[in-house]
């Protein structure tokens, strides 16, 4: 009771103190459990730390080793393919779906609820669903393709060197389309209808409207979605863990899986942190370039 | 002219329904598997719909204690971390909007910058820290991580919401003789409830769905969360357990889907009421 009356007085008389009091929990959590650990994590990337051993600084030794580490390069390459392909398909299909839902037809709110479902499905369950879809003998994919006469023998999708990458990409895109669609739909709904009405009077077709109204107005939202999904996809872990555990032969070992194995399976904490540092640098560079292109386009137009 | 319009409407419905078939089919397939008997799943020529509906797999999941215990762990960690996040975020968001200071920009900036760090770089030092204070392999440690994990986004949402509430409302209440706590609980709280509800659901679902932190942190089988338990099922016992795994997946997905649908309604409600009052 006493603390409450105290707080009240401070809020009334000394505003600054009141603010610090209210903000203290956030400042505490952020510095102790977010800022300090991250700085520590970056530092650990320059040490040879293994769990239980003393920490010793080893400069850029980890990065020299990473540079000649074939496992790392392979996982980095597949990480890039995965991130670009999944983001591109996800955003374009999401935009298509959002445009369809934004057209003035009936039942769209009912449709939206159904479309929400894959997004609501936890990543681990997404992996389980698609594992069961891809089961060679009992899975729906092989049954459908056999019934359609497209394949004669069952394909073992998730252990085939040929098919595993497209197979995991389909599963990855499946779970993420809804997210992009719902966010973009919210963006589309902010475009005033008058703009379309006016352009119709000027004789603009659907394609003209899409190019000259929808895309320019939607651009900030679109740019935000693309950057966010890019980062999320680069960090994918759970669904791949369940689908393939990075196999066959490391073909689907995304950077996060590589870092997890180094750090928590083999205990090379320092080396795993170094992989994390490289991931931050790559992501920052990509986002920086992307934002620069965006800004240049904006100043040109 | 009229014909072409109705034709384009049918095309739009058709395309949306194609999308929905693609988006719902895997889930329906697994729901169907969960209702098939084990013999039917391995019959060699399985059909899409079950020929005989059997609830055996659901019974085996409910009778097997592991899934239930892991679900309970997930609920406890999710609820406790959600309450803590809301208790921290709401007063902070209020303070950040109403009192201008450099700390605000520092916090908001950090929320944005921290998004770029991959979870591995977050997890490694936190793991070392939790090991040091003896909180690895403990639900308390996992709860703490989830608070840290969902706080930025919740703070961001709440900040935006508080900002949309005109300060005139509070000033008017103060002129009418309301005390500070009355302003907070009678004026602000009712307006913020939709945002608090949406943020709470968001925080709970992120904890319920989270896998990586739980995988790294929880080593004892009795402390596994639902996601970790389900992932373990796919590993060793794999194929032989298609039916029970399907049933467990359906059970694990239902709360999440319900909360999402609910959250969507709540969000639109909040937006609409905001628009009407603004």
What is the predicted ipTM? 0.83
Tell me, what CATH number does A124's domain have?
A: 1.10.3720.10
- Whether the CB of A278 is below 8 Å from some CB of chain B: the reply is no
Find the closest chain A residue to B241 by CA distance: A132
Q: Does A241 lie in the same domain as A190?
A: yes
State the average pLDDT for chain B: 83
Q: Is A48 helix (H, G, I), strand (E, B) or coil?
A: coil
Q: According to the model, what pLDDT value does residue A286 have? A: 87
How many independent structural domains does chain A possess?
2
The predicted structure's pLDDT at residue A7: 42
Q: Which tokens is B220 given?
A: 């004892």
Q: Are residues A31 and A146 in the same domain?
A: no
Tell whether omega for the bond before A67 is within 30 degrees of 0, i.e. cis. no
Q: Is B34 on the interface with A (CB under 8 A)?
A: no
Does any domain span residue A112?
yes
Distance from chain centroid for Cα A38: 20
Tens-digit pLDDT string for chain A (301 aa): 444 444 444 344 445 556 677 788 888 888 888 889 889 999 999 999 888 788 888 888 899 988 899 889 999 999 999 999 999 999 999 999 999 998 878 888 889 889 989 988 999 999 999 998 998 888 889 988 988 989 888 889 998 999 999 999 999 999 999 888 888 888 888 788 888 888 888 888 888 888 888 888 888 888 888 888 898 899 999 999 999 988 898 899 999 999 999 999 999 999 999 999 999 998 899 888 888 887 887 777 6
Q: What is residue A251's predicted lDDT score, i.e. its pLDDT?
A: 92
Closest residue in B to A154 (Cα–Cα): B44
Distance of residue B199 Cα from the nearest chain A Cα, in angstroms:
15
Contacts of B130 (CB under 8 A, 6+ apart): B136, B141, B144, B145, B217
Given a cut of 80, whether residue B277 has pLDDT beyond it is no
Same domain, yes or no, for A25 and A92?
no
Average pLDDT over residues B145-151: 92
What does the pLDDT read at residue A10?
Answer: 39
Q: What is the pLDDT of residue B271?
A: 42
% residues pLDDT > 70 (chain B):
90
Q: Residue ranges per domain, chain B?
A: 2-41, 57-277
Whether B147 sits inside 8 A of A287 (CB atoms) is: no
- Please check whether residues A16 and A105 belong to one and the same domain: no
Q: Which one is predicted more confidently, A231 or B112?
A: A231
pLDDT score at B44: 67
Q: What is the pLDDT of residue B237?
A: 52
Whether residue A93 is contained in a domain is answered as yes
Mean pLDDT of B263-275: 50
Q: What is the pLDDT of residue A13?
A: 42
pLDDT at B122 over 70: yes
Same domain? A40 vs A75: no
| A92 and A226 in a common domain | yes
In terms of pLDDT, which residue wins out, B95 or B23?
Answer: B23
Q: Do A257 and A181 share a structural domain?
A: yes
Name the 3-class secondary structure at A57. strand
What are the pLDDT digits (tens) for B7-49? 888 899 999 999 999 999 999 999 998 998 888 887 766 677 8
Q: Does B177 touch chain A (CB under 8 A)?
A: no
Are A141 and A199 contained in the same domain?
yes
The residue among A35, A40, A46 whose CA lies nearest residue A274 is A46
Instruction: Supply the range of the domain harboring residue A18.
Output: 2-44
Q: Is there a domain that residue A55 lies in? A: no
Q: Which of B103, B92, B212 is nearest to B154 (CA)?
A: B92
Q: Which of B214, B200, B206 is nearest to B85 (CA)?
A: B200
Quick: pLDDT tens for B183-213: 877 888 888 887 888 888 888 988 998 999 9
For residue B5, the surrounding DSSP H or E stretch is: helix B2-35
Q: Please, are residues B120 and A234 in contact by the beta-carbon 8 Å criterion?
A: no
* A contact test, residue of B21, B23, B67 with most A CBs within 10 A: B23
Fold that domain B57-277 belongs to in CATH:
MetI-like fold (1.10.3720)
Distance CA B168, CA B189 (A): 15
Q: Which residues contact residue A38 at a Cβ distance below 8 angstroms, ignoring those fewer than 6 apart?
A: B114, B117, B121, B122, B125
> Domain for residue A227, yes or no?
yes
Task: Say yes or no: A225 and A268 in one domain.
Answer: yes
Q: A64 lies in a domain? A: no
Mean pLDDT of the region B136-146: 94
Q: What token pair was written down for A168?
A: 């995991």
B90 in A contact zone (CB under 8 Å): no
Same structural domain for residues A87 and A234?
A: yes
Average pLDDT of the segment spanning B110-133? 87
**Is A143 part of the contact surface with chain B (CB cutoff 8 Å)?**
yes
Whether residue A191 lies inside any domain: the answer is yes
Look at residue B134 and tell me whether its pLDDT is greater than 60: yes
Examine residue A199 and state whether it is found in any structural domain, yes or no.
Answer: yes
Q: Is residue B23 within 8 Å of residue A117, measured between CB atoms? A: yes
Contact A121 B259 (CB under 8 A): no
Would residue A267 count as lying in a domain? yes
Question: Which 218-277 residues of chain B touch chain A by CB within 8 A?
Answer: 227, 230-231, 234-235, 239, 242, 245-246, 249, 252-253, 256-257, 259-261, 264
């Amino acid at each position: 009771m006493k603390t409450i009356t105290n707080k009240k007085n401070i809020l009334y008389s000394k505003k600054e103190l009141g603010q610090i009091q209210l903000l203290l929990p956030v400042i505490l959590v952020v510095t102790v459990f977010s800022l300090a650990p991250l700085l520590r994590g970056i530092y650990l990337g320059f040490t040879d730390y293994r769990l239980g051993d003393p920490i010793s600084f080893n400069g850029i030794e980890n990065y020299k080793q990473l540079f000649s580490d074939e496992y790392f390069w392979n996982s980095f390459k597949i990480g890039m393919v995965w991130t670009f392909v999944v983001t591109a398909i996800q955003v374009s299909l999401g935009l298509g779906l959002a445009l369809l839902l934004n057209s003035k037809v009936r039942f769209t709110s009912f449709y939206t609820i159904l479309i929400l479902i894959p997004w609501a499905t936890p990543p681990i369950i997404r992996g389980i669903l698609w594992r069961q879809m891809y089961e060679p003998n009992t899975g729906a994919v092989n049954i459908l393709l056999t019934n359609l006469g497209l394949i004669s023998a069952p394909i073992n999708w998730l252990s085939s060197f040929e098919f595993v990458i497209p197979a995991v990409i389909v599963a990855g895109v499946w779970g993420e389309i809804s997210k992009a669609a719902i966010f973009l739909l919210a963006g589309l709904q902010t475009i005033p209808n008058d703009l379309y009405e006016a352009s119709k009077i000027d004789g603009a077709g659907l394609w003209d409207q899409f190019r000259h109204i929808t895309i320019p107005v939607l651009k900030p939202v679109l740019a935000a979605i693309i950057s966010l999904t890019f980062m999320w996809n680069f960090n994918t872990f759970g669904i791949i863990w369940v689908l393939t555990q990075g196999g066959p032969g490391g073909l689907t070992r995304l950077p996060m899986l590589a870092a997890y194995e180094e750090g928590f399976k083999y205990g090379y904490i320092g080396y795993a942190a170094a992989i994390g540092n490289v991931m931050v640098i790559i992501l920052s560079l990509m986002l920086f370039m992307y934002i620069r292109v965006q800004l240049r386009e904006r100043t040109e137009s | 002219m009229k014909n072409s319009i109705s034709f384009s409407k049918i095309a739009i419905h058709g395309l949306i329904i194609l999308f929905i078939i693609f988006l719902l089919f895997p889930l329906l397939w697994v729901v169907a598997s969960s209702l098939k008997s084990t013999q039917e799943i391995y019959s060699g020529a399985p059909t899409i719909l079950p020929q005989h509906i059997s609830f055996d797999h659901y019974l085996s999941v409910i009778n097997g204690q592991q899934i239930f215990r892991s679900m309970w762990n997930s609920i406890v960690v999710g609820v406790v971390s959600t309450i803590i996040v809301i208790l921290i975020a709401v007063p902070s968001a209020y303070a950040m909007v109403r009192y201008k200071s450099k700390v605000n920009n520092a916090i908001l900036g950090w929320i944005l910058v921290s998004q770029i760090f991959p979870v591995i770089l977050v997890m490694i030092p936190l793991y070392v820290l939790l090991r040091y204070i003896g909180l690895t392999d403990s639900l308390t440690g996992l709860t703490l991580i989830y608070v840290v994990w969902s706080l930025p986004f919740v703070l961001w949402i709440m900040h935006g919401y508080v900002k949309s509430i005109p300060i005139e409302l509070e000033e008017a209440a103060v002129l009418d003789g309301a005390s500070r706590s009355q302003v907070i609980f009678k004026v602000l709280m009712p307006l913020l409830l939709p945002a608090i509800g949406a943020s709470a659901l968001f925080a709970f679902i992120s904890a319920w769905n989270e896998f990586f932190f739980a995988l790294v942190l929880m080593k004892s089988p009795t402390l596994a969360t639902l996601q970790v338990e389900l992932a373990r099922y796919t590993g060793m016992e794999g194929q032989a357990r298609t039916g029970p795994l399907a049933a467990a997946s359906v059970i694990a997905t239902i709360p999440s889907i319900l909360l999402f649908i609910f959250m969507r309604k709540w969000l639109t409600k909040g937006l609409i009421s905001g628009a009407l009052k603004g």
